[in-house]
Amino acid sequence: KAGVTQTPRYLIKTRGQQVTLSCSPISGHRSVSWYQQTPGQGLQFLFEYFSETQRNKGNFPGRFSGRQFSNSRSEMNVSTLELGDSALYLCASSSGQGDYTQYFGPGTRLTVL
């Protein structure tokens, strides 16, 4: 089985812009979760989608949003970028039912200038 894929791998944006990141889960997985990794805060949960519905949400401002499509692919959007949004954004997928192990993609490195 192919693993979790994320595009793009690297992204450079300027303050005030918006960005969309994409994640394709492992085939058959219906749950997609997003995490932010920064040196200061570590790995933090953003949100989780299951069957096109946001099922769980972390403590991030409304500038961070996401969606999931009928094929389970997910996108994450960050609007009005701030310098502090520079981070590695990780997507993880799981079956969403029964097996709770999450498998991570390689991440998207976002740099905000």
Partner 1 sequence: DQQVKQNSPSLSVQEGRISILNCDYTNSMFDYFLWYKKYPAEGPTFLISISSIKDKNEDGRFTVFLNKSAKHLSLHIVPSQPGDSAVYFCAASALKGNEKLTFGTGTRLTIIP
Write out the residues near partner 1 by the rule CB under 8 A: 4, 6, 31, 33, 35, 42-45, 48, 50, 55-56, 58, 88, 90, 92, 94, 96, 100-107, 109
How far is residue 81's CA from residue 75's CA, in Å, rounded to a whole number? 16
CB of 61 to partner 1, least distance (A): 17
CB of 31 to partner 1, least distance (A): 5
DSSP 106: -
Compare residues 50 and 81 and give the one whose CB is closer to partner 1: 50
Q: Distance of CA 38 to CAs 26, 28, 110, 111, Å?
A: 25, 30, 11, 11
Compare residues 40 and 62 and give the one whose CB is closer to partner 1: 40
